[in-house]
Structures are given as C-alpha cells and as structure tokens.
Structure 1
Amino acid sequence: MDLTPYVDNLRRELAAAADASGDEARALAERLSVPLESAARLTLLNVLSAAMGDVTRELAPGSVDVRLRGTDPEFVVTPPPAPEPMREAREPAAAPVVAASPAAEADDGAMVRINLRLPAHLKGRAEGAAAAAGLSVNAWLVRAVAVALDGGGNANGPGRGKEPGGRGFTGWVR
C-alpha cells in the first residue's frame, strides 16, 4: 500500500492552512512538511496496525499482518482453515463417542469454568457430534479433552475400550 498520496494530501492541507495565515506561516509550514512526513507515515502505520489487529480478532483463527516494505506497509492475509466439505448421505456420520478415561474417574470431582471460543463451523460440528452421541456439548467436550490429554485413551484406541461393567464403546475421534 503506497502511503505517498496520503502524506502528500496532508502536506497540501498544511500548506493551505498556512496560506491563510500569511507568508511567515507559509514558510514555517514548508520547513515543517519534510520532517513531518516521517511522523505522518509512522502515525498511518500505527493506525493500520491497530485496524488489522481488530480485523484479526474478528477473523480468528485467520489473521491479517502489516509488514513494512521500504517505507510502505504490506498486508499479509492468513485465511482461516477451510471447513471440511459436506459428506455424502451414504457415508456413515462420524459420531464421536469416547469413553471417560480412568484418570478422569479418579478425579476428586471439582469443576471449574472456562470460556471456549470456537469458529462457527467447529461449534456446529461439535453440537452435531454431541447430539449423535446422546450427550450435551459440555459432556462431549469433557470426554474429547480427556481422551486427547490421556494420549488417545486405552490400548484399543480412543472410544474402543471396555468399561468394567462390560459395556463397549465405539466411535470416531479426530
């Protein structure tokens, strides 16, 4: 992005304002316009960086970075990952059902609250997987986190173990 037109416009505006005040002000404006150019460029870069920070927060997990090339900024856009394409109706739905890990059962039962921000496409998929498993989204997420942190569950793989009562669990986990 070329900042020169914006800096030149600022210089013209300063000269126009100085013209209204006489010859002394015009000469002062001419002397100040060259040193003010770098300050104006820096201020514009700060504004652009702040704006791209706001854009990045809205794009998360994507981002927009501002890089300096010579005296001009360059924008680098990193788009969020594309959602997976819809599966055909014939393909069985990947309904994650995971067994609670033994470590989670040995927990003292204390609960803590966290806020989790998910992109809309992941939230929808998590809700669908939880519904298919007959669980609340919270219970499904607790089980998924437990399996992920315990290295994938038991020796039979995630969701393919036997509980002490002999009930089996099957499902898919990514």
Structure 2
Amino acid sequence: MNLTQYVDQLRQELAVAAEAGGDEARALAERLTAPLESAARLTLLNALSAAADEITSDLAPGSVDLRLRGLDPEFVVTLPPAAEAFDAQAEYEALMAAQPAPAPPPPAAASDAADDGATARINLRLPANVKARVEEAASRDGLSVNAWLVRAVSGALDQPAGRPAVRREFGRPGNGFTGWVR
C-alpha cells in the first residue's frame, strides 16, 4: 500500500489552508511540509495498525498483520484453517451414512418444521465427551445425530421458562418406559 498519495493529499490540503493566511502563512506551510511528512506517515501507520487489530479480533482464529516493507505498509491476511471445516463435513457425512433411517419426528417437531419449511445450517462445537453421549442417545433412539439434536432443541424451546425437559424412566428395571416429560 503506497502512502505517498495520502501524504501528498495532506500537503495539498495544508497549502490550500495556508492560502487564506497570505504570503507568510504560505511560506511557513512550505517549510513545515517536509518535516511533517514523516509524522504523517507514522500517524497513518498507527491508524492502519489499529484497523488491522480490530479486523483480527473479528476474524479470529484468522488474523490480519501489518508489515512495513521500506516505506510502504503491507497487509498479510491469514484465514482460519479451511481443513477443519472440511474434516467436520466429511465426518458428518460418514456419520449420516452409518445411521439407520430416522424415525418420524414427534408431533411438536413436525409442526415446527411444517410451519416454516426452511432449514438453516449452523456449526456446533461440542466437547468430545458430550458429542459421544449425543451419538449414543441418537443411536439408542434410532435417529441421526442431526434429527436427535433438532428434537432436543425443539423440546427445550417448547418448555415454559424455568422448567427444563427431563428424560425419565418409568416402570421396573428392564421393563421400563422411556421418554420425554414436562
């Protein structure tokens, strides 16, 4: 990025402002522009560095660095690793292929899906032990992980405030009923 055009523009603006002050002001402006050039460059570099820091905080885990090569700054952008997203997609597809056909969703989830018809994709990061428990629960219920999570989230959202859904087992050990209760 060439800062010379910005420094020259500042020099021209100073000359225009000095025109209003007469010959003495114009002469003073001409004497000050050379020493002010390095101060203007440093100020511009500080502003660009602060902007790079702000962008980096929004881009995390990627980053934006400002490097100085000679008199010209250069932005270096490091994007978040794409391999992680690809591996997650491959893992998801493998998991979906290994799952049995999903059972029909409960009526509450079916009515929610029918209301809108659209789906949205999100990335959900779970601790490994929670992910394993979700996979076990989905397998036990004969659902895909996605269908199980949709059912769990829908059930949690349908609960009155302060009353979470709880999975309960009823009956004698070995002859019990399981399901979701409110």
TM-score with structure 1 setting the length: 0.55
Structure 1 residue 73 corresponds to structure 2 residue 76: no
Return the offset for 1:126. Answer: 1.8
Residue number in structure 1 paired with 2:52: 52
Q: 1:67 to 1:133 in 2, by over 3 A?
A: farther
Structure with more strand by fraction: 2
Q: Larger radius of gyration, structure 1 or 2?
A: 2
Return the offset for 1:84. Answer: 2.0
Return the offset for 1:33. Answer: 0.2
1:95-154 deviation per Cα after TM superposition (whole angstroms, max 9, x unaligned): xxxxxxxxxxxxxxxxxxxxxxxxx84xx14278263355xxxxxxxxxxxxxxxxxxxx
Return the offset for 1:87. Answer: 2.6
Identity of aligned residues (%): 61
Q: Aligned partners of 1:84 and 1:20: how far apart in 2?
A: 62
Letter in 2 for 1:35: P
Q: How many residues align?
A: 107
Return the offset for 1:58. Answer: 0.5
Equivalent residue of 2:73, what SS? strand
Q: Structure 1 unaligned segments of length 5 or more: list them.
A: 94-119, 135-174
**Counterpart pick for 2:95 among 92, 95, 120:** 92
Q: Structure 2 unaligned segments of length 5 or more: list them.
A: 97-121, 138-182
Structure 1 residue 37 corresponds to structure 2 residue 51: no
Structure with more helix by fraction: 2
1:32-68 deviation per Cα after TM superposition (whole angstroms, max 9, x unaligned): 0000000000000000000000000001110000000
Q: Aligned partners of 2:34 and 2:80: how far apart in 1?
A: 41
Equivalent residue of 1:126, what SS? coil
| Higher normalized contact order (CA 8 Å, seq sep 6+, divided by chain length) | 1
